[in-house]
Amino acid sequence: MSMFTVNVVARNPKDESLISPPTKVLVDTGSELTWTWLPKVLLIGINVTPVRKRSFTTATKQVVTRETGYAILSAKGYETVDEVVFAEPGDMALLGVRTLEGFGVMVDNIAHRFVARTTLVASSTHIATPRCSVGLIKNHR
**Each residue's pLDDT tens digit, 62-89:** 999 999 999 999 999 999 999 999 999 9
* Helical residues (DSSP H) of 2-91, grouped into ranges: 40-45
Is residue 141 over pLDDT 80?
Answer: no
Q: 126: pLDDT confidence band, cut at 50, 70 and 90?
A: low
Between these two residues, 21 and 31, which has the higher pLDDT value? Answer: 21
Is residue 9 over pLDDT 50?
Answer: yes
> Which pLDDT belongs to residue 135?
45
Is residue 54 over pLDDT 70?
Answer: yes
Contacts of 72 (CB under 8 A, 6+ apart): 10, 11, 12, 13, 16, 79, 80, 81
> Which pLDDT belongs to residue 1?
57
Is residue 107 over pLDDT 50?
Answer: yes
> Which pLDDT belongs to residue 140?
46
> Which pLDDT belongs to residue 59?
79
Tens-place pLDDT, residues 108-121:
888 889 999 887 66
Contacts of 67 (CB under 8 A, 6+ apart): 40, 50, 51, 52, 53, 85, 86
Do the beta carbons of residue 73 and residue 82 sit within 8 Å?
Answer: yes
Domains of the chain: 3-136 (2.40.70.10)
> Which pLDDT belongs to residue 42?
98
> Which pLDDT belongs to residue 40?
98
Q: Please name every residue paired with 55 in a beta bridge, in sequence order, or none if there are none.
A: 65
Distance CA(127)–CA(70), nearest Å, equals 33
Query: Mean pLDDT over all residues of the chain?
Result: 86
